[in-house]
Amino acid sequence: MDYNEAANDEPATIGTATRDEKAMSSAARIKSCSMLNVCGEEPDIGALVQFATSPNGFINDEVRRKAWPLLLGYVPSKKTNFTASARWQDLPRHKDEDQVRLDVDRSFIYYPKNQSEPQLDRRKRELSAVITQVLREYPMLSYFQGYHDIVQVFLLVLGVDDAAAAVSQLSLLRIRDFMLPSLEPSIAHLHLLPSILQAKSPKLRQHLSQTQPFFALAATLTLYAHDIQEYSDIARLFDFFLAHGAVVSVYFFAIIILARREELFEIPADEPEMLHSVLSKLPKPLDLEALIAQTVSLYQKFPPEKLPYRAWAKISPFSVLKTTRGDYRQQTLSDGVEYFEMQVAQLHRQRMRKKAMATLWRHRGSAGRVGLAVVVGVAAIWFGRGGVESYAAMAFRRLWEKSRGH
């Protein structure tokens, strides 16, 4: 892959932007001008959030190029990020670059339209370069299939020179849970769905009780970019998602489920495979404006802290679901790295605790002979105190071997 060639190409436009601007109504032009004004030297983030949530969102990419970086919490540098970054091409290869190449080869299937082969090849080079830059600069991030679907939207909206900065912010501060070395934090997002459904429609939640919420994984993992085939629709949906905390994406899927309640009730509750199959495919077409309005209403009526089953309390304090609550746009990339490291440490403690409990269960018959060592060992593992843990593990092993006659 010749990344320098991608960097030196002239920026390409989406192709439909000019036609869209010509077709804009006078009301849309006024709204567009108003939005550009609040993106000025002293941006009004509150106003941008309102515009992003209002019908049709930011309307066009001219506004998005100004608004998206602000909603992500940074001000674009006057120097282009893509070429100014300190020789990212010379950084060590990321472990996932082979998978990136395979996915990039399958990109730009639905949009932009009316592109020649050379134009699509150039876009793929740019997409590969943006993803690779982010991964090499933040090598702790784990690539996931569908990440390229998200990044290609940012590339088309912002252009190759500005996409990497935005994608870095997005990766570390908004979709960090999806880029950890374990899928567990991503699954935790899905486990909010039954609680949201219980709050709004207990009957529907009961009907789906035998169906695990994994049907929502592909959509939520890719911010719906893998499923939505129209560029204008996914760009508009990103307006909404970037204006709100990460948990809103889960509420959005809950609204899609609620909108399909009649269809779902026609499928027997004891056929979870059929329900999973239906729910894993988004209905077409999606009435985005209605879904967004209903998502806002649902979120306001049943905020995460008030969900049943203590669902919110079970979410890690380091998850983006919680770190994008409140005034999160002051967070820096360094904050994102720190949260990432804390999540990794927490995952490690959880795995060690499960391993210790499994060991206790297997040897429960001899627990009385090594009770003290067990208590010390489990406590050390649970609290993650390296020195004590090592000592307790050795003590446990010696006592256990002694009890077995070794």
Q: Give DSSP secondary structure letters for 257-308.
A: HHHTHHHHHTS-TT-HHHHHHHHTS--SS--HHHHHHHHHHHHHHS-GGG-G
Residue 225 in contact with residue 234, Cβ under 8 Å? yes
Q: Which of 330, 328, 154, 127 has the alpha carbon at shortest distance from 239? A: 154
Across the chain, mean pLDDT equals: 86
pLDDT at 353: 80
CA of 146: how far to CAs of 131, 151, 395, in Å?
Answer: 12, 9, 46
Tell me the chain's radius of gyration from C-alpha atoms. Answer: 24
**What is the average per-residue pLDDT within 62-66?**
96
In sign, the C-alpha dihedral spanning 282, 285, 286, 290 is negative
Q: Is the pLDDT reported for residue 401 higher than 90?
A: no
**What is the average per-residue pLDDT within 54-79?**
90
Higher pLDDT, 358 or 61: 61
Residue with tokens 């209905």: 283
Residue 54 in contact with residue 248, Cβ under 8 Å? no
- The answer for residues whose C-beta is within 8 angstroms of residue 75's C-beta and 6 or more apart is 69
DSSP conformation class of 221 = H
Residue 80 in contact with residue 162, Cβ under 8 Å? yes
Q: What is the pLDDT of residues 281-293, one digit of tens each?
A: 999 999 999 999 9
Q: What is the pLDDT of residues 204-217, one digit of tens each?
A: 999 999 999 999 99
The pTM score is 0.83
Q: What is the pLDDT of residues 160-186, one digit of tens each?
A: 999 999 999 999 999 999 999 999 999
d(CA 369, CA 399): 8
